[in-house]
């Protein structure tokens, strides 16, 4: 007996959507141990922290009471190519929990093989799981919609990767849902219209319950609005997701699947870090275009769900797709008005800033804009337009600390070798990003640092 129930499970996915998942048990880890436990988040979820602390095995092969572990089916366009069956190959949904923060998916990543694993081992290495934990929690503190990380549990196993043997780990992730563009693509590609309809109703019930359960166009508009806002926030922070495949785009509007992501140091619209993104498909300045591309894939899946003659339906969707680029532009100008302490969106000053800031540290330049010497004529123009209380506004809108690549690498290297101190210190700094911090957390990478390269972390 483990005392009173910890999690209030109420899993609607398995109830509403039969035939869309596989019931699968997570693998039993030999020696589960918390490497990171998000006690503040646990407290906000109303969890008993002592009990949580005592039971790392809940997330490593012995699920807590009420859990019903499943692997979800989904498809996805990866680097533009359609894969009809991806699915959770190394992840399990333990169920939906009802919390003071709302209904959330409680899920594991790195929790073992499933029916969707193909050749993979279903496992994850400690470094990439701590990376997702750190960056997702940093994003939350920055005010960006994101999945959250409750814990990282070391499994006690050694797994084999290209770099050699690595400690294995499992991430405990919370998400408003794991419904992806690729979830709709899965049933659309199979021509399973009844399941597509059920998924539509399920998605609306979870994210837009004020809409009618069959209002596909209404859902599309909501998803578009959320994603436009999300990508505008990413661009304001210089965040490069790195793998915006349609299976990594959530209809909730949360940032999901932190793999090869990175924040820019110097501003470079062509910034691209992922070792596998050779064409730069997912580089910084392509993210708004990929947003529209991915939403086009979502729109295609919705055609049979919208009443009316096919050409009329396609017309309605095309109107919406054409509106994405201007909506994004407006959202980005809004974000930049906040970051530049301007009274409102200003296309000319924003464009001027983007050319003046080229090659300079994005984060430090914005944070220190009031005293920034190197921006030439643009700075004089800005001084004429900025709000009178700009000093306070700049500090509230521009973080001092982001998880900079060289700091993240240093922290993960130490953690993999067993020293969590640098990780804990960086995490603490990232949790109050708008406060002032010691220079080691706010400086850009040393000028002799090699170009940062990220890996998908599988």
The catalytic residues are: 247
With binding defined as CB under 5 A, does residue 405 bind Mg ion?
Answer: no
Q: Residue with CB nearest Mg ion?
A: 257
| Encoded tokens for 154 | 């070391």
Segment interacting with Mg ion, rule: CB under 5 A, options 6-14, 114-122, 129-137, 247-255: 247-255
Query: Closest separation between CB of residue 90 and Mg ion, Å?
Result: 10
Segment interacting with ligand AMP, rule: CB under 6 A, options 18-26, 40-48, 242-250, 402-410: 242-250
With binding defined as CB under 5 A, does residue 83 bind Mg ion?
Answer: no
Nearer to Mg ion, 125 or 333 (CB): 125
With binding defined as CB under 6 A, does residue 139 bind ligand AMP?
Answer: no
- Look at residue 95 and give the partner it binds from Mg ion, ligand AMP, none, a contact being a CB closer than 5 to 8 Å depending on partner kind: none
- Look at residue 326 and give the partner it binds from ligand AMP, Mg ion, none, a contact being a CB closer than 5 to 8 Å depending on partner kind: none
With binding defined as CB under 6 A, does residue 196 bind ligand AMP?
Answer: no
Nearer to Mg ion, 91 or 412 (CB): 91
Nearer to Mg ion, 175 or 407 (CB): 175
| Encoded tokens for 387 | 């709000």
- Name which of residues 249 to 278 contact Mg ion (CB under 5 A): 257
Largest CA distance in the chain: 70
- Name which of residues 336 to 375 contact Mg ion (CB under 5 A): none
- Name which of residues 251 to 270 contact ligand AMP (CB under 6 A): 257, 259
Q: Residue with CB nearest ligand AMP?
A: 120
> Is there a contact between 341 and 355 (Cβ–Cβ < 8 Å)?
no
With binding defined as CB under 5 A, does residue 147 bind Mg ion?
Answer: no
- Look at residue 89 and give the partner it binds from ligand AMP, Mg ion, none, a contact being a CB closer than 5 to 8 Å depending on partner kind: ligand AMP
With binding defined as CB under 6 A, does residue 127 bind ligand AMP?
Answer: no
With binding defined as CB under 5 A, does residue 132 bind Mg ion?
Answer: no
With binding defined as CB under 6 A, does residue 458 bind ligand AMP?
Answer: yes
- Look at residue 121 and give the partner it binds from ligand AMP, Mg ion, none, a contact being a CB closer than 5 to 8 Å depending on partner kind: ligand AMP
Q: Residue by residue, what is the 3-state secondary structure of the chain?
A: CCCCCCCCECCCHHHHCCCCEEECCCCCCCCCEEEEECHHHHHHCCCCHHHHHHCHHHHCCCCCCCCCCEEECCCEEECCEEECCCCCCCEEEEEEEEECCEEEEEEEECECCCCCCCCCCCECEHHHHHHHHHHHHHHHHHCCCECEEEEEEEEEEEEEECCEEEEEEEEEEEECCCCEHHHHHHHHHCCCHHHHHHHHHHHHHHHCCCCCCCCHHHHHHHHHHHHHHHHHHHHHHCEECCCCCHHHCECCCCECCCCCCEECCEECCCCCCECCCCCCCCCHHHHHHHHHHHHHHHHHHHHHHCCCCHHHHHHHHHHHHHCHHHHHHHHHHHHHHHHCCCCCCCHHHHHHHHHHCECCEHHHHHHCHHHCCCCHHHHHHHHHHCCCCHHHHHHHHCCCCCCCHHHHHHHHHHHHCCCCHHHHHHHHHHHCCCCCCCHHHHCCCCCCCCCCCECCCC
Query: Closest separation between CB of residue 259 and ligand AMP, Å?
Result: 5
With binding defined as CB under 5 A, does residue 248 bind Mg ion?
Answer: yes
Nearer to ligand AMP, 107 or 342 (CB): 107
Q: Is the C-alpha dihedral spanning 20, 253, 170, 10 positive or negative?
A: negative
- Name which of residues 87 to 116 contact ligand AMP (CB under 6 A): 87-91, 116
Segment interacting with Mg ion, rule: CB under 5 A, options 67-75, 243-251, 301-309, 389-397: 243-251
Segment interacting with ligand AMP, rule: CB under 6 A, options 7-15, 47-55, 84-92, 232-240: 84-92
Query: Closest separation between CB of residue 248 and Mg ion, Å?
Result: 5
Separation between Cα atoms, residue 147 and residue 178, nearest integer Å: 9
Residues in contact with ligand AMP by CB under 6 A are 86-91, 116-117, 120-123, 243, 247-248, 257, 259, 456, 458
Residues in contact with Mg ion by CB under 5 A are 248, 257
């Amino acid at each position: 007996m483990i005392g009173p129930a910890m999690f209030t499970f109420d899993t609607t996915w398995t109830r509403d959507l039969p035939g869309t998942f596989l019931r699968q048990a997570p693998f039993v880890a030999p020696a589960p141990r918390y490497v990171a436990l998000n006690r503040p988040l646990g407290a906000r979820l109303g969890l008993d922290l002592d009990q949580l602390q005592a039971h790392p095995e809940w997330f490593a092969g012995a699920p807590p009471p009420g859990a019903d572990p499943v692997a979800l089916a989904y498809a996805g366009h990866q680097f533009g190519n359609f894969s009809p069956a991806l699915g959770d190959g190394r992840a399990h949904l333990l169920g939906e929990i009802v919390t003071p923060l709302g209904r959330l998916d409680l899920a594991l990543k790195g929790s073992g093989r499933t029916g969707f694993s193909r050749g993979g081992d279903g496992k994850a290495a400690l470094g990439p799981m701590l990376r997702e934990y750190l960056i997702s929690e940093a994003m939350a503190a920055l005010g960006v919609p994101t999945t959250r990380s409750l814990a990282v549990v070391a499994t006690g196993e050694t797994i084999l990767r290209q770099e050699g043997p690595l400690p294995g780990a499992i991430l405990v992730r919370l998400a408003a849902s794991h419904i992806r563009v690729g979830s709709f693509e899965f049933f659309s590609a199979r021509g399973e219209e009844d399941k597509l309809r059920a998924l539509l109703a399920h998605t609306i019930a979870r994210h837009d319950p004020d809409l009618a359960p069959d209002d596909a166009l209404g859902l599309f508009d909501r998803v578009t609005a959320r994603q436009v806002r999300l990508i505008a926030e990413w661009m304001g922070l210089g965040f490069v997701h790195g793998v915006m495949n349609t299976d990594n785009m959530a209809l909730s509007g949360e940032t999901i699947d932190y793999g090869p992501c990175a924040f820019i140091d110097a501003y470079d619209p062509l910034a691209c870090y992922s070792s596998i993104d050779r064409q730069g498909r997912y580089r910084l300045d392509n993210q708004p275009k990929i947003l529209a591309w991915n939403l086009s894939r979502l729109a295609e899946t919705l055609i049979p769900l919208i009443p009316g003659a096919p050409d009329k339906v396609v017309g309605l969707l095309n109107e919406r797709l054409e509106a994405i680029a201007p909506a994004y532009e407006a959202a980005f100008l809004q974000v930049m008005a906040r970051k530049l302490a301007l009274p409102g969106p200003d296309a000319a000053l924003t464009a001027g800033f983007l050319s003046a800031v080229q090659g300079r540290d994005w984060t430090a330049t914005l944070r220190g804009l009031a005293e920034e010497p190197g921006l030439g004529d643009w700075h004089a123009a800005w001084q004429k337009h900025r709000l009178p209380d700009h000093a306070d506004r700049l500090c509230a809108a521009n973080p001092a600390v982001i998880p900079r690549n060289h700091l993240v690498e240093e922290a993960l290297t130490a953690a993999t070798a067993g020293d969590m101190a640098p990780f804990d210190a960086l995490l603490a700094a990232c949790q109050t990003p708008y406060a002032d911090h010691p220079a080691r957390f706010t400086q850009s990478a040393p000028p002799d640092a090699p170009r940062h390269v990220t890996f998908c972390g599988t």
